[in-house]
Amino acid sequence: MSAAPDPAGEPHLSLSGVSAHYGAVEVLRDISLRIAPREAVAVLGRNGVGKTTLVNALFNLGPQVSGAIRLMGQEVTGWPTHRIARLGAALVPQGRGVFPNLTVAENLQLASFRNRPGTWTLECVFDTFPGLAERRASFSSSLSGGERQLLAIGRALLTQARLLVLDEPSEGLAPLMAEEIIVEQVGRLAKEGMTVLLVEQNVPLALRLCPRAVVLGAHEIAFDGPSGDILANPALLRRHLGV
């Protein structure tokens, strides 16, 4: 697989003038963003600026959305979630979203229930995350936080997605585990050509994975550019990231 981002190609995801509301509360205002194939982009910002709302708007999981969201070249605004997912976007949600009353294997098989077979198979996922293979018959409620995170990522891969959206994957993980999962495992997927949208509180971690970062501040985009420029911008760091 080719690993270089392709900024000239049709973006995998593009938002133009997207606003999101929960009832009368406006959470996001006029967001515009393009993510090219094979790019890895971090979305940063303080608590409550709407990072998770951005994810939920993308998958049509709750907020009322205006503006246009295009995924893989198709306008998907207002589509039911399962049709958005079938276009090739997968979500590793905040809190992992594994199904506690299902076994590890069942959690993974669910992802291939409605998706055509592709590069990723159950055995591929077990090869990639050997820890999961040992626990395949266990209920996912018995997994550790790190194992749950790998399970959520493995499940996302089995949907044969081309765009992987991760919402706060480091939350609740020990620093070394977060490092291993996000920088090593997700980093490897990104190198193999997966487009990654990473929503994170842990700024240094996110910037090590993603060459480009978007900073949300007060419901709007405050910065969008190379990760290196953020670290060189103490005012931005202090104001929007609290670092």
Selected from 16, 32, 66, 81, the binder of another protein by CB under 8 A is 81
Matching residue, tokens 């697989």: 1
- The interface region with another protein, picked from 21-29, 43-51, 80-88, 198-206 by CB under 8 A, is 80-88
Identify the burial level of 110 via C-beta atoms within 10 angstroms of its C-beta, where 0-12 means exposed, 13-18 middle and 19 or more buried: middle
Nearest approach, Cβ of residue 99 and another protein (Å): 4
Based on the shown chain and the rule CB under 8 A, indicate whether residue 139 belongs to the binding site for another protein: yes
Nearer to another protein, 107 or 202 (CB): 107
E strand segments, the chain:
13-22, 25-35, 40-44, 64-71, 74-75, 89-92, 163-167, 195-199, 212-217, 220-226
Token pair of 208, please?
Answer: 């090590």
Determine if 23 is a binding residue for another protein (CB under 8 A): no
For residues 33 to 62, the per-residue mask of contacts with another protein, x marking binding by CB under 8 A and - elsewhere, is: --------------------------x-xx
Question: Does 138 engage in binding with another protein (CB under 8 A)?
Answer: no
| Nearer to another protein (CB atom), residue 35 or residue 221 | 35
78 near another protein (CB under 8 A) = no
Distance CA 127, CA 15 (A): 35
Least separation in angstroms between residue 111's CB and another protein is 5
Which residue bears the tokens 């976007």? Answer: 89
Select 98 or 209, whichever has its Cβ closest to another protein.
98
Say if residues 151 and 98 touch (Cβ distance below 8 Å): yes
Three-class SS state of 42: strand
Structural contact between residues 52 and 224, judged by C-beta atoms closer than 8 angstroms: no
Nearer to another protein, 114 or 238 (CB): 114
Choose the binding region for another protein from 19-27, 104-112, 187-195, 207-215 (rule: CB under 8 A). Answer: 104-112
Cα 30 to Cα 190, 202, 212, 215: the distances in Å are 28, 25, 20, 14
Q: Residues interacting with another protein, by CB under 8 A?
A: 59, 61-62, 80-82, 85-86, 90-91, 93, 97, 99-102, 106-107, 109-111, 113-115, 139, 141, 155, 159
